[in-house]
Amino acid sequence: MINLDPVVQNDITSSLASQYYATQLSSSDEILGGQNKVQPHWRDFMSAIEAMGGAELERRRKENQRLLRENGVTYTVYSDKGHHNRPWKLDSVPLLIGSAEWLVIEQGIQQRAELLNLILKDLYGPQQLLKKGLIPAQLIFAHQGFLAPCVGSLTDATRLTIYAANLVRGQNGKMWVLNDHTQAPSGMGYSLENRNVVGRVMGDLFQDSQVQRLAGFFTSLQSSLAQLAPHNKDDPHIVVLTPGPLNETYFEHAYLASQLGFTLAQGEDLTMRDGKVWLRTLEGLKAVDVLLRRVDDGFCDPLELNPRSQLGVAGLLQAVRLGNVSVANPLGSGILENPGLLGFLPSLCRHFLGQELLLPSTATWWCGQKKERDFVINNISKLTIKPISRSSHQVIVGEHLSSQQRDELIYRIKEKPYLFIGQEQINFSTAPTLINGVIEPRNCILRSFAVSSDKSYQVMPGGLTRVAADKDQFTVSNQFGAISKDTWVLSSRESSKQSQDRSQSQSQSQSQSQSSLIRHQVPALVSEPLVSRAADNLFWVGRHFERIFFSIRLLHIVLSEQMNLKDVSEQSNRHFEVLLHAVTHLTGTYPGFIAANPLSQAEQHKQMLSLFSDQQRAGTIASNIEDFFYAAFNIRDLWSQNTWRCIDSIRDDWHAEAHQLMSSPAQLSRPLDKLNLQMAAFSGLTSESMTREAGWTLLQLGRRLERALALISFLRATVVQKQSETQLYPVLESVLQVTDSFSLYQRRYRSVVCLPLLLELLLGDKSHPYSLLFQLQHLKDAVATLPGQNKNRLSMEQRLILKAYIDIQLCDFNSLLNIDDNNGIHSKLDKLLKNLTESLWEFSDMIAQRYFNHVQVKHQLSPVALEKNL
């Protein structure tokens, strides 16, 4: 229960004595304000929290985390090498802002966004601010965010499309702007997901609190981006440019692209031709009209900006100059993030707008001016020192420096004063946060967003609130473990009516310009192209899926045989040895179970555990699951929510199981059973949720190709070698069980298992989902539907599959088992299977060259590729 101060208890009756909400006396608190009394807009909410009790709050916290986990909400911390899915942290207790205060914040954000927009247009246009001395030239030209090649690239219609400001509440209870974000502001997607989760977990309180909705903001974002399209195009093609899945906020990039209906692309997916930006798709090049970039300025064009960048598009800036593509935010807008500008904004606001700055900035002194530099040096122990460029992210708190460190810093400032600023130290306000079942105060920052809307800016009602993970921690950053909060802007009747009036006014003023957008948003008319990189990843998702699936079935039978192996006769050992060798051949984990001398049981068990848990060993289940997950993660935006939950669970559950493996075959079989069901669920979900378009075709193409290769490899490892009838029968029986064909064989042939009939079933039965002919039939049908295939003439890849298909159909399976062979193997059968392997790999290469030849991502080849040279 929350145990508050006596003054607070006059407002709220506490009944849970196990909690203590002790605020920092030196800072303001969101719930208590400066007078240590619950603020009016918090009163009803806190009463409801009190009534819930600790057990109910804990239940809702777990539900909160479950939803985030199932939705795959992640944030990549760069120090986590190899991890792509650190769970997003979200507190169930939101930050509440009253309607009257929000109106002030909203107007301040709108004013600030417009001011920065005017500054941007001047710096890359006439540069009157520099010529008149309103901004020191050295402050601009010494900042890495000023991109000289971008001068002259902004037109009259160019605007700062998206703006974000980090807000903190100072000791006086007023909101201050800590810093501005103008390059590629992040957090909008996380704000939307936070609202979805908290709105569900705290649904009763959400409804009672009359919280302002977020939908209007994202509608304005769609509208604003569509209006950026050059030449007033009716159906603009909008692409979200992402650095890729290793970026810290990649989830948000994929989430926004999916929610807004845009194409998610990386730099390698785009190319410049004829002064335009084109997207590489499965059907060819498609022109791009608008880029919503999530890549920093300098990395967007390696030709004119940062030559070392592999994230952008060479020639993008020239396409912008020619007016053939619009970029949000405009290239070069990183200069507005220069913290040295903060001290000049009040005068610039009066210059441009004739107004006082509504939201003050943190007191800032740029050291490039003598008076300010002397002040910073003389008060260095009371200030925070920062470089004007954010590349180093170095923030120095003066009071924490030793005497020697202080002298060294002063020397650096004097040496290059224009590179440093001094800022007043601000004690952030604290917000109530649920920590280990206890509501405690934590320092908080609110990131507020604005989007250009016609000739003004629309502000998201709320934003992304983050709180420090620990008490007295002032570094509030997701990279340092910050916890996010939903932000509830409460509505009064008056503010609701004003908001409705504003929405109607905006709707009327934009009615003409929105007509084309309405047509653009008709779902039946929109068909987003499949990016070649996405097609490549879908193809490999299918291949990795089948590798895992076939390995599961084989290992399950091996473990089952091991449990049933009650004697140590040579015949029983021979059968089991064949299966173990098949495992090594199929997975490519050489030398594995193949050794000059038979492996002991301890050595066999060690090899088996490696197959389960060794991620660094190519071909193991753990490694294949990682490859499967990574290929799927690259196209996070293409999966339905349920499908992604399944993908995420496959990876996390297996890794959790792999660390708890037991010794007995029965215990090893349990995680295989669970994984088998999860893989079947993925297959069913994709079948039910994916449209039968090119993406589905590529996924199935990968699956059928890999199943065919795995089946051939398995047969070569088990039945090609000649064996006596007594040794062969248990091997054939196991082959049928691995391929889920035993019952079908019994129903169809009603005889003892023999090799010719088994080959007829597994190679030549086109109705059996595990047969080779079935895979070839589906490959033949699938490739014919891919873009670029000639309807009147077979392509080379079609010819390869057709020839393989006909070879199997014309095959006499009895003749493959020539009894005159003296080399210990069925040489004709082996030759047939080897030729089929080579044809399938040649087919795979042709598909890659035709559809994925530009993709630079490397994939682990199938272990059965080694058999091409056997």
69-78, 279-288, 456-465, 500-509 — which is least confidently predicted? 500-509
Give one DSSP letter per residue of 529-557, joined into a string: --BHHHHHHHHHHHHHHHHHHHHHHHHHH
Question: Is a pLDDT exceeding 50 seen at residue 1?
Answer: no
User: In sequence order, which residues have a C-beta less than 8 Å from that of residue 432 and are 6 or more positions away?
Assistant: 21, 30, 31, 46, 93, 439, 440, 441
Q: Report the largest interatomic distance among the alpha carbons of the chain, rounded to a whole angstrom.
A: 101
* Domain presence at residue 85: no
Q: Which of these, 19, 11, 93, 91, lies nearest to 49 by C-alpha position?
A: 93
Our measurement of the distance from residue 385's CA atom to the centroid of its chain's CA atoms, rounded to an integer in Å, reads 34
Question: By mean pLDDT, which of 589-593, 707-711, 818-822 is the weakest?
Answer: 818-822
Provide DSSP, 330-391.
PTTGGGGG-GGGGGGHHHHHHHHHSS--SSPBPPEEETTSHHHHHHHHHTGGGEEEEESSTT
Using CA atoms in the order 797, 800, 805, 810, what is the torsion angle rounded to 10 degrees? 160
The confidence score (pLDDT) of residue 8 equals 42
The residue ranking higher by pLDDT, 87 or 23, is 87
Q: What is the pLDDT of residue 467?
A: 93
Whether 241 and 164 share a structural domain:
yes
Residues 505 and 643 in one domain: no
Q: What is the pLDDT of residue 724?
A: 82
> Residue 605's pLDDT band (boundaries 50, 70, 90)?
confident
Is residue 20 scored above 50 in pLDDT?
no
pLDDT digits (tens, 9 = 90+) for 433-489: 998 888 889 999 999 999 998 889 999 999 999 999 888 776 777 777 789 999 999
660: confidence class by pLDDT, cuts 50, 70, 90: confident
Helix (H) / strand (E) containing 769: none
Q: In this structure, is residue 542 part of a structural domain?
A: yes
549 and 491 in a single domain? The answer is no
**In whole angstroms, what separates CA 451 from the centre of its chain?**
23
Cα separation, 555 vs 533, whole angstroms: 33
Cβ contact 550:714 at 8 Å: yes
- Domain membership flag for residue 77: no
Task: Provide the domain limits for residue 821.
Answer: 532-864
Q: What is the CATH number of the domain that holds 403?
A: 3.30.1490.270
Instruction: Name 354's Cβ contacts closer than 8 Å, sequence gap at least 6.
Output: none
CA distance 32 to 179: 25
As given in the structure block, the two tokens for residue 522 are 């008709």
Residue 17 has what pLDDT? 30
Tens of pLDDT along 806-849?
999 999 888 888 766 667 889 899 999 999 999 999 999 999 99
**481 and 401 part of one domain:** no
Whole-number pLDDT of residue 842: 96
**What is the identity of the amino acid at 709?**
L
Amino acid at 185: P
pLDDT of 320 reads 96
Instruction: Specify whether 825 is located in the same domain as 718.
Output: yes
Look at the chain and report how many structural domains it folds into: 3
Could you give the CA distance from residue 820 to residue 812 in angstroms, rounded to a whole number?
Answer: 17
Same domain for 704 and 650?
A: yes
Q: Which two tokens stand for residue 54?
A: 């600790």
How many angstroms separate the CA atoms of 118 and 534, rounded?
A: 39
The number of angstroms, rounded, from the C-alpha of 592 to the middle of its chain's C-alpha atoms is 36
pLDDT tens track for 724-748: 888 889 999 999 999 999 999 999 9
Q: Is residue 254 part of a domain?
A: yes
- With residue 165 as reference, give the H or E element that holds it: strand 162-169
CA 487, distance to chain mean position in Å, is 23
The 3-class SS string of 215-274 reads HHHHHHHHHHHHHCCHHHCCCCCEEEECCCCCCCCHHHHHHHHHHHCCEEECHHHEEEEC
Residue 42 domain-assigned?
no
Note the Cα 709 to chain centre separation in Å.
31
What are 444's two structure tokens? Answer: 């908080």
Does the residue 5 lie in any domain?
A: no
pLDDT digits 0-9 by tens, 42-64: 999 989 988 888 889 999 999 99
User: Which has the closest alpha carbon to 270: 2, 529, 585?
Assistant: 529
Sequence-distant (6+) residues with CB within 8 A of 37 are: 7, 8, 11
- Mention every residue, 6+ apart, whose C-beta is less than 8 A from residue 218: 188, 192, 259, 260
**C-alpha to C-alpha distance for 462 and 171, rounded to whole angstroms:** 21
pLDDT in tens, 521-579: 444 445 678 999 999 999 999 999 999 999 999 999 999 888 876 554 555 578 888 99
Cβ atoms 421, 414 nearer than 8 A: no
Q: Nearest Cα to 284, choosing from 830, 662, 694, 825?
A: 694
Per-residue CA distances from 637 to 529, 591, 614, 701 (Å): 13, 39, 29, 20
- One-letter amino acid at 710 equals A
Give the separation between CA 604 and CA 615, rounded to whole angstroms.
18
Q: Tokens 């920590």 correspond to what residue?
A: 435
> Tokens 């060794």 appear where?
614
Burial class (CB in 10 A: 0-12, 13-18, 19+), 609: middle
Residue 607, C-beta contacts closer than 8 angstroms, at least 6 positions apart: 589, 592, 593, 599
Q: Listing from the earlier edge strand, what are the strands of the sheet with 270-273?
A: 270-273, 276-281, 284-287
Residues 6+ apart with CB under 8 A from 113: 160, 163, 450, 452, 457
pLDDT bin (cut points 50, 70, 90) of residue 236 is: very high
Task: Tell me, yes or no, whether 738 lies in a domain.
Answer: yes
The torsion angles phi and psi of 863, rounded to 5 degrees, stand at -55, -30
- Residue 655 tokens read as 């890794």
Structural contact between residues 23 and 32, judged by C-beta atoms closer than 8 angstroms: yes
Is 556 in the same domain as 569? yes
**Gap between the Cα atoms of 151 and 158, Å rounded:** 13
Q: Is the pTM of this model over 0.75?
A: yes
How high is the pLDDT of residue 234?
78
Percent with pLDDT over 90 in the chain: 65
Tell whether the model's pLDDT for residue 764 goes beyond 80: yes
Task: Tell me if 625 sits within 8 A of 650, measured CB to CB.
Answer: yes
Query: Quick one: average pLDDT of 577-600?
Result: 89
Phi, psi of 434 (to 5 degrees): -80, 110
Q: What is the mean pLDDT of the chain?
A: 87
CA–CA separation, 578 and 717 (whole Å): 8
**pLDDT number for residue 428:** 84
Same domain, 397 and 434: no
The rounded percent of the chain whose pLDDT value lies above 70 is: 87
Residue 18 has what pLDDT?
34
pLDDT at residue 342 greater than cutoff 60: yes
Residue 61 lies in a domain: no
Q: Give mean pLDDT, residues 763-782.
A: 95
Q: Same domain, yes or no, for 321 and 416?
A: no
φ and ψ at residue 830, rounded to 5 degrees: -65, -40
Q: 372 and 381 in contact (C-beta within 8 Å)? A: no
Query: Stretch 342-362: mean pLDDT, rounded?
Result: 96
- Per-residue pLDDT tens over the stretch 144-155: 999 999 999 998
Looking only at the bridges linking them, the beta strands covering 483-489 and 464-467 are antiparallel
Same domain, yes or no, for 296 and 398?
no
Last residue of a domain, one of 525, 558, 580: 525
Amino acid present at 443: N
Within 8 A by CB and 6+ apart from 193, the residues are 68, 71, 73, 88, 255
The amino acid present at 545, given as its one-letter code, is F
Q: Kindly calculate the radius of gyration of the chain based on its CA atoms and give it in whole angstroms.
A: 32
- CA dist 559 and 564 (Å) reads 9
Question: Do residues 658 and 798 share a domain?
Answer: yes
Q: Are residues 438 and 370 in the same domain?
A: no
